[in-house]
Amino acid sequence: MEPRNNPNPASGDDTEIVSRRIERLSLHLNPIPRTLPDGDRQIGMATCARPKLEVDTGKLSGYMRGPHRDVQEKVFEYFESRPELQTPLEISKNDHRELCWRQLVGLVREAGIKPFRYVADDPAKYFAILEAIGSVDMSLGIKMGVQYSLWGGSVINLGTQKHKDKYFDGIDNLDYPGCFAMTELHHGSNVQALQTTATFDPITDEFIINTPNDGAIKWWIGNAAVHGKFASVFARLMLPSHDPKAVSDMGVHAFIVPIRHLDTHETLPGVEIHDCGQKVGLNGVDNGALRFNSVRIPRDNLLNRFGDVSRDGKYTSSLPTVNKRFAATLGELVGGRVGLAYSSVAVLKLAGTIAIRYSLLRQQFGPPSKPEVSILDYQSHQHKLMPMLASTYAFHFATSYLVEKYAEMKRTHDEQLVGDVHALSAGLKAYVTSYTARSLNVCRESCGGHGYAAVNRFGTLRNDHDIFQTFEGDNTVLLQQVAGDLLKRYQEKFQGGALTVTWNYLRESMNSYLSQPNPVTARWEGEDHLRDPKFQLDAFRYRTSRLLQSVAVRLRKHSTTLGGFGAWNRCLNHLLTLAESHIETVILAKFIEAVQNCPDPSARSALKLVCDLYALDRIWNDIGTYRNVDYVAPNKAKAIHKLAEYLSFQVRNVARELVDAFDLPDNVTRAPIAMQSGAYSQYTNYVGF
C-alpha cells in the first residue's frame, strides 16, 4: 500500500520536482499576463474586443427544464383556459381560500393532473408540477404540498400497507383532504418536546388524543381552518405501565385523527378548531388551530412503520431507542424541505425575470445629445441583478441535484444517503430561501415606483415567500444542523470513517487546503487562472475547511469552561458561517458539473460565463477571509474584483436570453412591466387609459 504522504521527497524523481519548482518560480517572477482592462479603463470598454456571446435560448431552456416540461406546460395551459380560476389581484381571505380549493380540485379532477402518485415513485415529476403550480399562485402550491407531500406523505412514508390501502385513493382524488398537525403553540422547531399525548387504552383498543394545556394546541396547521377532514397528529405515545398511576412515554409518533365528518363536514366530538386568521401572505391557505379533548381513535390509526403497539399494549420497534425512532420519522419527512428549496428557486426565477425584462426596457438618462440608455446598462444596476441571475442558475442546478439524490434515497433507502440528503436539504432550504427573500426586495427596488404596483407581483411574491424561511424548519436551526453534521464528519475523518458524497472533499481538504497558502499562486491574476473551475472550487473548499478546523478548536476550548451547550452558543455565529460556506461549496461544485455536462456548445458557453460570475462574486464578497490568511495577494484581489465586474457586464449582454431560457411566458409572469412585447401599453391599459 502506498503511504499517504512521502516523508522523503528526494526519493522520487528529482528532475521532475526540480522542474516543477523552477516553473513555479518563473511564474512568480513572470506572472501570467493579465487580460483584464487596467488603469482607468472602464470594464465596459473591454467588450469592444470581444463579440457578444451567441446563446441558443431553446437549447439552454431544454437543458434547464429537463424531462418534465410537458406536465408543466399542461398546468399552464389548463389555467390559461380557465380564466375564472386565475387568482385576481384583489381578493378577500375567504374568497381566496375557496378559489384555492377550486383550483386544486380542477387541476386534479378536470385536468387529470394527480401529483400524489409521484410523491414516492417519481419525486422529480412531483416537484416539477409543484414549481408550475407555485408560479400560478403560491398559495395553491402550498395547499397542494400540505395535501400531498405532508398529509399524504406522512401516511405513505410513516404508515404501512394497511394505511396506503385505506387512504391512498381518497388522498389522491381529494375525497380525503387532510392536515399535517406537528407544530404546537409552544413548540415548533423542538419537535421532540411536543406535548400532545396519545394514550393507549387496552380495554377499548384505542388511543386517546389529548391536548394537555394551551401550549400544546396544534397551531398554524394548513387545511385545518376550512377544508381538512383528517389530520396526521404528532403526539407522545403513552403506554400503561405496571404502576396503575404511571405511563411509559415512547416518544413522538404520528396518528391519523379524523377532525370533520366525511359527509356533513361537521367538526367531530372532542375536536376544537379555530381559524388562525389573516396572515402576511399565503391567505389562500386555511391555517387553523386544533385542540383535542379525549378524542378516541382505533389502534390501527397509529402510523406504525417505525413503532407499533399490539392488542395487549406491547410496544415493538425495529429501532432500539427513542432518538433513533425520532430521527427515522423526521428523515422520512425531508421531502417538504426539498420542495421548499426547489420552489424558492422558482420564485427567484419569476422575480428575476420580471426585474430584468423591465430593466432592459426602461430607459433613463444618457450621454449629452444622445438617446437615453437602458437602466441595465448602468454598472450599479448590473451589480444588483447580474450576480443574482447567476445565483438563480447556480441554485437551479443545486436543487435539481438535491431532488435527484432525494429520489435515489426513496428508491434505495440507503442509510448513508438518508443522512446526506437530510443535511443537504436542510442547508439548501435555509440558504436558498434566505437568499430569495433578500433578492425579492432587490428586484422590487430595481423596478422603481412601478415595482411597487401590486399588479407587477413583487409584493405578493415577497409576502407569500417570506414564510419559506420559517416553516419546514427555521433557517437558523437548519444551518446549525448542517454545522453539527460537518463537525461529526470532521471527527469521523480523523477516526478513519467513510465520508458521504457531498462531504467527500473534506477528506483531502483537511490536509492539503489547511497547509500554508502557496505564495506563488496567491499572486496569479490572469483571467484564465481566475476562470479555472479548479481555482474557484479550491478557494471555496479552503474557506470551508479553515472555518471547520477553527470552530472545532474553539468548541473544544470553550467546552471546558462553558459546557457543550454554552460552547455551542458562544461559537454560534461561527457555526452558521461554516454551514453557509459549505452549502456555497456544494452549489458551486454542482454548477461546475452542470456546465461540463451540457451537450450544446452555445448553452455551455453561456453557463460557463454565469458560473464564473457566481464563483468570483462570492469570492470577492468574502475577500477579507482570503486576504487575512494570504490566500489571495492584494493584486489578485483587485483582479478578482475587476473580472467579476467585467463578467457582470458580459452577462448583461445576454441577460434577455438567460431569463428567456427560464421559459416563463407572459401568462405566467403576469406582470405588465415584464411583458415581452407592449409592456407599457399593457400597463396603461391596466390602469384604464
Query: CA angle, 141 as apex, 140 and 143 as ends, to 5°?
Result: 60
Whether residue 57 is annotated as binding a ligand: the answer is no
What number of CA atoms fall less than 13 Å from residue 366's CA on the CB side?
A: 11
On whether the CB atoms of residues 268 and 297 are closer than 8 A, the answer is: no
On whether the CB atoms of residues 157 and 305 are closer than 8 A, the answer is: yes
pTM: 0.88
Determine the angle formed by the axes of helices 123-136 and 379-412, rounding to 10 degrees. Answer: 140
Strand order in the sheet with 271-275: 218-221, 288-292, 271-275
Amino acid at residue number 237: L
- By three-state DSSP, how is residue 670 classified? coil
pLDDT at 47: 39
pLDDT at 687: 63
pLDDT mean over 525-535: 93
When computed from its CA atoms, the radius of gyration of the chain, rounded to whole angstroms, is 28
pLDDT mean over 24-44: 40
pLDDT at 520: 65
pLDDT mean over 381-387: 96
On whether the CB atoms of residues 503 and 489 are closer than 8 A, the answer is: yes
**Catalytic choice (472, 527, 580, 584):** 472
Helices (H) and strands (E) in the chain, counts: 25, 11
pLDDT digit string, tens, across residues 291-303: 999 999 999 999 9
Q: Is 472 a catalytic residue?
A: yes
Concatenated DSSP letters of 619-661? HHHTHHHHHHTTSS-HHHHHHHHHHHHHHHHHHHHTHHHHHHT
pLDDT digit string, tens, across residues 409-431: 988 888 888 889 999 999 999 99
| Angstrom distance (rounded) from CA 256 to CA 233 | 6
Residue 466 Cα distances to 54, 93, 280, 347, angstroms: 37, 18, 9, 11
pLDDT digit string, tens, across residues 573-585: 999 999 999 999 9
- Does the pLDDT of residue 396 top 60, yes or no? yes
pLDDT digit string, tens, across residues 233-274: 999 999 988 776 678 999 999 999 999 999 999 999 999 999
| Angstrom distance (rounded) from CA 666 to CA 137 | 15
The confidence band for 34, taking pLDDT boundaries of 50, 70 and 90, is very low
- By three-state DSSP, how is residue 502 classified? helix
pLDDT at 43: 34
pLDDT mean over 629-653: 94
Q: What mean pLDDT value characterizes the chain?
A: 87
| Angstrom distance (rounded) from CA 614 to CA 449 | 29
The confidence band for 685, taking pLDDT boundaries of 50, 70 and 90, is low
Whether residue 563 is annotated as binding a ligand: the answer is no
The confidence band for 679, taking pLDDT boundaries of 50, 70 and 90, is low
